[in-house]
Structure 1
Amino acid sequence: MRSGPAAPPPVPPTPTPTTLTASYERCRRLHAAYGRSYYLATRLLPAWKRPHVHALYGFARYADEIVDSFAMTTDRAVALDGLTARLVAGVAGDPISDPVLPAFTHTLRAFDVDLADVDAFLTSMRADLTVRRYATYDELLGYMEGSAAVIGTMMLPILEPLPHAADRAREPARQLGLAFQLTNFIRDVSEDLARGRIYLPLADLDKFGVAEADLAARRATPAVRELVAFEADRARDHYRQALEGIDMLAPSSRPCVRAAYELYSGILHQVEAAGHDVLAGRARVPRRRRLAIFARHLAAASAADRAERRVTAEVP
């Protein structure tokens, strides 16, 4: 995921099973604190859908922070093993002592989320324990399949694809996840390097004559700017492939996804406005712009929500 500011280490499991209500609230707070742009877009969803989106985000953030927040790889591996074990127990219906997993496993069951997607996500999180570089974009895509594409497909049943488009909607959902993830990698070059990781393919660094030391500078060289522009074009291609999927969703979900699309792609606009220098400062969509995007989609969200609440009783 890697969106929003760095978080403190995850809260350790509570001594007694967490209530479902408390778990959903914990996920909501994680989402509000560390995924502000997406959280804002989520406010455009019908109220009943929002907690489930928070649960998916909360779980992803929780796992992501495990692999980023502990000093030793062995500690991270143990913590990730513990999370996986608790998840398996929770999916089986056992009581679990964890602040996030009760909401996540409840959402998995409620929407019949494909557990293979969850496994793929955890595989990518485990890769972060040892893999620090990716030689090619194909290799990076393999990682992003689990870290981002499956987030899109796990979200899909909550967003409700239209019956005639259920199968076709999966690929655009994957592409949107990839677009968001690559946008984060472009924005967070300095932050990731501080953790010892480079998520831009080494083959691309070589192509533009960029040394790893160049990514540690306070300002981007012309070569780094060209590299970032190249990766931004890749991200835009993922956005283009994702766009058709929005109209495949239930009308009440479309304003949220359109807003998220505009907010995240807006980060690329900010990168471009800065001359593709992602080292001098973190690209951010200005608050006024974020609120304007939200306001533009609010009327459509409210109208779609009201329309879906108008259920006509059928007389046998």
Structure 2
Amino acid sequence: MTDKLAEKFLEQQEDFAVCESIIKHHSKSFYAAFSKLPEQKAMSVYAIYAFCRQADDLIDVEKAPEKLEEMRRQLEEFQNGDCPDEPMWRALAVVFEHYPLNINYFYDMLEGQRRDAHFKQPETQAELEEYSYYVAGSVGLMLLPILSQEWQSIVEEAKELGKAMQITNILRDIGEDAAEARIYLPKEKMLAFDVTNEAIHAHQKTQGFIALWEYEARRAEAAYEKSREMMPLIDEDCRGPLLAASYLYREILNAVRENDYQVFTRRHAVKASRKLIVFKEINSELKNIATIS
């Protein structure tokens, strides 16, 4: 990083601190992982997270799709060089100046939130995975140039990781989402496994429901596996944090299994004892990557 760009990160330190407070408050697991990045990379991730969190909260918390449209207009202004005078935007301006970010992925993320605002249950598996790209795969592509100098070679793998994380979210939050009149499980798959919307609203944990849950979980796990192919091309100082985020998110699926698929009345998290085992697995994988990269 040039001295001039380093100075810009320093000049906007208060703005980046606001972004850091947002990720620290809303996602302790992501913060724990990405705070281990080199300082400027960590600050850049915080700024992108703050953008995504603001968009997500406009729909999930404020229920204000009109504000999402205003955020889209702000993004257009930002793209045209007129940076909105707010901490998140000012921090993002520094990040865009330093890394080759593609602003189209930021628009894609807003499109995902727009789809949530006008929610429609996916008809097919393909529709679910398309939605997962917009709300999560797009985020992986926002972050990729920060995490890898070879980012153009691993776009598809980064999409897979975002998709895996989003499907994990959906499988963890079935009860919470149903309470908000949102069922993300595809209608075609529900029909195939003999699961109805009424049964989900009634919290019926049938064998068909468990089989459907496992079908989606296995697809997520396959996507996690595919995403691991990009790790040798992730910058060495970013591999550990990215693997931690990936491994710990994947472990949520096992936490649900250990608690007998009770996704209707509780929110699952990875136990501290399991995290210790996961970190040992991460260290082992880091050593393996080092031998082939």
Aligned equivalents of 1:285, 1:188: Cα separation in 2: 15
Q: Could you say what secondary structure the match of 2:137 adopts?
A: helix
Q: Does 1:28 align with 2:16?
A: no
For residue 275 of structure 1, report the CA deviation from its aligned partner: 2.6
Aligned equivalents of 2:13, 2:70: Cα separation in 1: 23
Q: 1:49 aligns with which of 38, 41, 61?
A: 41
Q: 1:110 aligns with which of 89, 98, 102?
A: 98
Q: Does 1:69 align with 2:57?
A: no
Q: 1:180 aligns with which of 165, 177, 198?
A: 165
Aligned equivalents of 1:106, 1:190: Cα separation in 2: 40
For residue 104 of structure 1, report the CA deviation from its aligned partner: 2.5
1:109-142: CA deviation from partner (whole Å, max 9, x where unpaired): 3212111111211111111111231101111122
In structure 1, give the amino acid aligned to 2:141: T
Which structure shows the bigger proportion of residues in helix conformation?
Answer: 2
1:211-251: CA deviation from partner (whole Å, max 9, x where unpaired): 11222234622222121111101101111110111111111
User: Is the contact made by 1:225 and 1:275 (CA closer than 8 Å) also made in structure 2?
Assistant: no
Aligned equivalents of 2:276, 2:93: Cα separation in 1: 32
Q: 1:88 aligns with which of 67, 76, 94?
A: 76
Match in the other structure for 2:143: 155
Q: Does 1:100 align with 2:88?
A: yes
Match in the other structure for 2:130: 142
Match in the other structure for 1:260: 245
For residue 52 of structure 1, report the CA deviation from its aligned partner: 0.6
Aligned equivalents of 1:120, 1:146: Cα separation in 2: 5
For residue 93 of structure 1, report the CA deviation from its aligned partner: 3.1
Provide the identity percentage: 28
For residue 293 of structure 1, report the CA deviation from its aligned partner: 4.4
Distance 1:243 1:273, change over 3 A: same
Deviates more, 1:192-201 or 1:83-92: 83-92
For residue 297 of structure 1, report the CA deviation from its aligned partner: 5.8
Distance 1:254 1:95, change over 3 A: closer
Aligned length: 277
User: Is the contact made by 2:83 and 2:93 (CA closer than 8 Å) also made in structure 1?
Assistant: no
Aligned equivalents of 1:55, 1:294: Cα separation in 2: 26
Aligned equivalents of 1:293, 1:92: Cα separation in 2: 44
For residue 270 of structure 1, report the CA deviation from its aligned partner: 0.7
- TM-score, structure 1 length as denominator? 0.80
- TM-score, structure 2 length as denominator? 0.86
